[in-house]
Structure 1
């Protein structure tokens, strides 16, 4: 049986990040592999996770959220026994390993998130040549390699298989390598699972139909968008997003991933501008609309690519005036499911083939 170690952004206060870490590990275990998530905690993430918030109440709520995320990781992530606070510790631990290592998903190659440099932990640059190095749905967001392109080319050339989440990452790899490093595009690991029953907690789910908002911005446009959807649907609003919404019946900003996902999974309608909000709407077959981001609009490409592949690009709303009753009609998942299954199965095959059909690069 092959031993697989994954490394990703698992120790952050972000629902999508923690759930994608869970999903990849769970999928690999279902396929019969021994899996552990490397408990890698670089200092820059530790500071973000544990620093006080602005104001006493927010600091207390953040502490509660940290405890809830800790319990989720403890109960549902197959974490390594060792915690690694540096690449040096990783290198020392795996100096003689010939196991399989997978970096991703999430924006593990986004230098803006890793102190403007390549974090060698997330590029698996701590391993001996005999170890098998694979990326799965690795992303760099909207940030290219730029100043780090020489180093990036060097570390990526040692990978046995590179699977990325977006065409932007694929294009960047082609650019820095002059098309000499192959890569393929795959779906986010959250889409690899069709059953989340193990982690779902429905204790916050109301008895009546409701609207969920999962929005990463707090702009004027976002507020107007959600008000319009509430008015058009007549549904009570439950906010699961990053910012408090006054008009919401409930604001669940600090709940555990299990309770967050439980509420999300039963929503009558979802309003989001988040990639993982889009992904979980599809996983749970929810009606949804995706609203354009007000800033960093280049990140819209992630949602649009997924929606276009499924014939659902009409659910993307560019501006408030575009929102019509037709955008809130029930989605016919009987038409969507075959395209969805094809997309997901292709990604599963690419990942399993990468694990089963690769040998060490060591001569």
Structure 2
């Protein structure tokens, strides 16, 4: 097997970004591949990332009592980053300073999202300047970028990729329309390699709390979920961010804390992509809501696995909330994910050769 470098967003203070990077690296290792995460460094990106981690609810201000909690959360992420399989560091702005690789895998995450507030616009994620024999993508996405937006001169750079796979229908459509290619549709690494996420999961029964993951939820969803949970005596516990409408806050949870927390929850309420992913990995009932920035990702994921009815709208009735959060996931979802794991594994096996 070749020496493989993985180019992704592995240092974000974000549970999903951390776990997708770790799962892809460890998943490739389980396939017998020597893989490392390419340790790109940028003081500009670091400053933006850390500012966002301390003030995640902008334009709403972070309460003063929450700053120590967000700082503790950042420190836990730093400890987790140190355990990742990392390459020698190199400047993000100067990929020529990186080592040589037989193959580089670009993705997962929003590596092609030119609207990303601090990573958007770096040509290295489009394959520019990489020192390698071949470039492939795995579960890459354009995120909130529309098919007609700011791609002039960028999409063509992807033609140097020998294999292209994406994780959502929106990105698949962009590749098809812009390049005339048919990319493979694959699973996010956390869904593709669930054993990496569930390795430390306990074997006991689910606890009687509802996990809340995300922020800036619409008022109608807060009211609907709170009524449902109160009627059944379930506390709402918010992880990673403050949600005043939840009963409890666990702001300073680290990445490993997050994985265990979701695995032990009764159900999950989220407006984040990886909130849905971790619910699916752990086969937890979940309800999600679309937001402007994440609508493409969540809508396409739920459509891909046949979970569209888990997307709540303002018209969702109390009986529908009960059907979604009060019952196990339909078996058809598990069967669909199993099928997609097979096709994703086939893509990786072929792309890595």
Query: TM-score, length-normalised on structure 1?
Result: 0.85
What does 1:18-57 align with in structure 2 at a 5 Å threshold? 18-51=18-51, 53=55, 54=62, 56-57=64-65
* Count of residues in Structure 1 that have an aligned counterpart in Structure 2: 342
Return closer, same or farther for 1:323/1:299 CA change in 2, 3 Å cut-off. Answer: farther
Q: Which residue of 2 aligns with 1:174?
A: 176
Match of 2:324 in 1: 327
Q: Is the 8 A contact 2:285 2:324 kept in 1?
A: no
Which secondary structure state, in structure 1, belongs to the residue aligned with residue 126 of structure 2? coil
Shift, 1:265, TM fit: 0.5
Mapped pair 1:104 → 2:107: yes
2:252 alignment partner, SS class = coil
What's the counterpart of residue 209 of structure 1?
Answer: 208
- For 2:212, what is the secondary structure of its paired residue? strand
Distance verdict in 2 for CA 1:63–1:320, change over 3 Å:
same
Cα deviation, 1:268-314, whole Å, max 9, x if unaligned, reads 11111221111111111112222x23x41x74343333333433322
Q: For residues 143-292 of structure 1, what are the structure 2 equivalents within 5 Å?
A: 143-144=145-146, 146=148, 148-177=150-179, 179=180, 181-196=181-196, 200=200, 208-248=207-247, 250-290=248-288, 292=289
- Is residue 311–residue 336 contact of structure 1 (8 Å, CA) maintained in 2? yes
State the Cα distance separating 1:228 from its structure 2 match: 2.5
TM-superposition CA deviations, 1:189-241 (whole Å, max 9, x none): 11012323676477xx9984211111332432342233133134321221115
Structure 2 partner of 1:361: none
Q: Unpaired segments of 5 or more residues in structure 1?
A: 357-363
- Work out whether residues 218 and 243 of structure 1, in 8 Å CA contact, stay in contact via their aligned partners in 2: no
Verify the 8 A CA contact 1:5 1:101 in the aligned structure 2: yes
In terms of mean alpha carbon deviation, does 160-169 or 143-152 score higher?
143-152
- Tell me the secondary structure at the aligned position of residue 131 of structure 1: strand
Aligned partners of 1:323 and 1:150: how far apart in 2?
46
Quote the Cα distance in structure 2 between the aligned partners of 1:206 and 1:49.
36
Judging changes above 3 Å, is the alpha-carbon distance between structure 1 residues 337 and 256 closer, same or farther for their aligned structure 2 residues?
Answer: same
Bigger shift: 52-61 or 31-40? 52-61
Partner of 2:335: 338
Q: Distance in 1 between matches of 2:11 and 2:257?
A: 18
Q: Which residue number corresponds to residue 359 of structure 1?
A: none
Measured at CA, do residues 167 and 208 of structure 1 come closer, stay the same or move farther in structure 2, by a change above 3 Å?
closer
Secondary structure of the structure 1 residue equivalent to 2:195: coil
Confirm or deny: 8 A CA contact 1:214 1:270 kept in the other structure. Answer: yes
Counterpart position of 2:138 = 136
Please, which of 49, 69, 73 is the counterpart of residue 65 of structure 1? 73
What is the root-mean-square deviation of aligned Cα atoms in Å? 2.6
Q: Answer yes or no: is the 8 Å Cα contact 2:10–2:18 preserved in 1.
A: yes
TM-superposed CA distance for 1:328, in Å, is: 2.8
Normalising by the residue count of structure 2, what TM-score does the alignment of the two structures yield?
0.87
Q: Residue 38 of structure 2 aligns to a residue in which SS? A: strand
Aligned to 1:10: 10
Q: Which residue does 2:58 correspond to in 1?
A: none
**Contact 2:268-2:286 at 8 Å conserved across structures:** yes
Distance 1:146 1:116 in 2: 20
Q: What residue is the counterpart of 2:128 in the other structure?
A: 125
Given candidates 76, 86, 92, the residue that maps to 2:92 is 86
Q: 1:115 to 1:66 in 2, by over 3 A?
A: closer
Q: 2:347 aligns with which of 337, 350, 355?
A: 350
1:305 alignment partner in structure 2 = 300
Note if contact 2:144-2:296 (Cα within 8 Å) is conserved in structure 1: no
